Amino acid sequence: MPASAQTRPIVQLSSHVDALALTDRLEFLVDGAGQWQPGTPPPDPGFSRLDGRWSQDNFGTREAHVWFRTTFATGDTGGGEWLWMVANPHLDRVDVIVMIDGQTVARWSGGNAAAERPDAVRAHPFLLAPLALKAGTEYSVYMHVHSSGVFYVPVSLWRPHAFWRADQVRYGLSGLYFGLVAGLFAYNLFIYLLIRERVYLVYLGCILALTLSQLANTGLGAQWLWPEWAAFSTFINNVAIACSAALAMLFLRAFLKTPQTAPRIDRWLRGSAMAWLVVLVVLPLLDNVVAGYILGPAGFLTVVFLTLITLNAVRERRPGAQYFALAWATLFFAGALFALFRLGAFPHHPVLANIMMVGSSLELVLLSFALADRIRSDRLAKERAMAERTAATVRRDAAQRTLAEKSSFMATVTHDIQQPLYAMRLAMQNIVLPPASPQLDAQIAQIRSAMQLADDLLGSLATVVQLDRADLMPSISRHCVQEMLERVELLFEPLAQQRNLDWRVTPCVAWVKSDPILLQRMVCNLVANAIRYTERGGVLLSCRVRRTGLLLQVWDTGPGIALDEQGAVFDEYFRGGASQASQSGLGLGLSIVRRCAQLLDIQVSMRSVVGRGTCFQLLVPLAPADE
């Protein structure tokens, strides 16, 4: 049965009451045509009580004309000045009509879209209708609300002195919030100017977007900053929400460094940021109702997405991730409640109406802690890296000094030992000039072999010393490789015959561009190694011209090199498992080949089969034909 057919409730006013919540004492009528006026029969189903609705004074996000009514009885002490307050700064138009016995005695109009607004309305973010009531009188009060967007109508009645006392508390809490935001903004701006890290710049953008949203949501923006644009407060709030969501995605990318650490998540974040930018572009084309139904669910899903990513960061123990996750969890809870509140799921409550202010303030504080923790972790990591680099520099300098001292010592020792060997070689030549007896031939051959071996070892050591000291400067020139092949053949043919090995050198008239002395040393080292480790069969030194250079190959039929040893054959002092204790050498020959090849830009490679032999290859740059 409609309330119009029942006894209408009467609100008793007295001097003992300073504030009175009227929400549960109001009747409402949804005027679909927007043409109804008090004093005429209401359309079906007539007025209904608000307290019968689950959401009470919250009609969700919509555009509508809604009438509210109640009856006041002032009695002997209830007269005087009262303030009719509607605590929603987003309503477009509000008309309050006071009637006695069907006759209008007072009328007030306000709202963001009103053409003329009294000074009291412009001086406060909420809608305040002053009521002058006489004692001992019964009043019928009608309120017409027309708005699009967030449509909740919390109504209360206040004595002026009680209202201004409560208003001081409201302004104090708002000042506390915006003071906190201003402090965080100044602090993080100072940090950004010091370290110039982009994550702080995005964070400052988040602060500005959330501050703009709260200015629009609380009505303080329309009161102080854009009074002539008060009708666009809901639109400004929607733009601020879209900007803060897009900046949140960018902030998360910069904070967690997802482009480097999590490319897959980074693609989702970039896509979400682009989606919010698209929403931002199309917002001017949407009315507030459609925008509200888009922003509510989209904002909720965004906060869920951000929360899941930050929880994953906590699991991976990222710096500052605990504060970061707590910040987004706080905003997730606040955003979920606010989205449900905007959609009409809950009745109006001051905490719900300002839940985003509470949630965003906590979020900003926690994000500031997260940034500080991450910067501290980065600073500690940089200090550790710097300490490690310093220690590595000290170790490298010490190693270089040790190497220089060792190289200097080895150069001196090598030079000093080579002098008596040279003298011994001259003496040996004098001994063998007269015809020697057959008994001395074997002993003289053994002495010659030992002296040649000692000379080779000292030559290798001298080359290693020069390479270590980096004072071995190649002398690149154009020369014919055949001359070098002939010298190598004369040098190693007696040694191969002595070991009963087949020794062949293929002739080659190609011209190469390299250091002839170092190239010959490299080839000699490879040939010496091949002859040293080959017991039967032979050794072949061949040349083949390729498009990329001259391919010098040293083939042998020795024991071969095992596959697991082939990666270490060019290391210093390496002697493979196929070597025998009786075989001479220090294992420096191949390491000299590798290091000389690096100086001469020569490619070195090898292939080997155990039991069949080995082939070492040098790819030497060819000299251009026009030189």
Determine the Cα–Cα distance for residues 69 and 54; give it in Å rounded to an integer. Answer: 19
Q: For residue 117, what pLDDT is reported?
A: 47
Determine the Cα–Cα distance for residues 30 and 569; give it in Å rounded to an integer. Answer: 93
* Cα four-point dihedral sign 254, 258, 264, 265: negative
| No. of helices (H) and no. of strands (E), the chain | 15, 18
Instruction: List phi, psi (to 5°) of 132.
Output: -105, 105
Burial class of residue 86 in the structure, from the number of CB atoms within 10 Å of its CB (0-12 exposed, 13-18 middle, 19+ buried): buried
User: Is the Cβ–Cβ distance between 109 and 94 less than 8 Å?
Assistant: yes
Strands 103-110 and 58-73: unpaired
* Cα four-point dihedral sign 356, 361, 363, 367: positive
pLDDT digits (tens, 9 = 90+) for 204-214: 898 899 889 88
CB neighbourhood size of 91 (10 A): 25
For residue 444, give the nearest of 422, 425, 421 by alpha carbon. 425
For residue 341, give the nearest of 328, 331, 327, 351 by alpha carbon. 351
CA angle centred on 267, ends 265 and 269, rounded to 5°: 70
Q: For residue 512, what pLDDT is reported?
A: 92
Q: For residue 143, what pLDDT is reported?
A: 95
Whole-angstrom CA distances from 579 to 157, 310, 540, 545, 587 are: 105, 60, 20, 33, 10
Q: For residue 299, what pLDDT is reported?
A: 82
- Burial pattern 299-332, b for ≥16 Cβ within 10 A else e, equals bbebbebbbebbeebeeeebbbbbbbbbbbbbbb
Q: For residue 132, what pLDDT is reported?
A: 93
Q: Is the pTM of this model over 0.95?
A: no
Q: For residue 428, what pLDDT is reported?
A: 63
Point out the residues of the chain with pLDDT beneath 70. Answer: 1-8, 51-57, 114-123, 339, 341-345, 347-353, 403-472, 572-588, 625-627
Chain mean position to CA 532: 59
pLDDT digits (tens, 9 = 90+) for 484-513: 899 888 888 888 888 899 999 999 989 999
Q: For residue 562, what pLDDT is reported?
A: 86
What would the 3-class secondary structure string for 280-304 be? HHHHHHCCHHHHHHHHHHHHHHHHH
Determine the Cα–Cα distance for residues 547 and 283; give it in Å rounded to an integer. Answer: 66
Q: For residue 83, what pLDDT is reported?
A: 95
CB neighbourhood size of 429 (10 A): 9
* Cα four-point dihedral sign 525, 531, 532, 537: positive
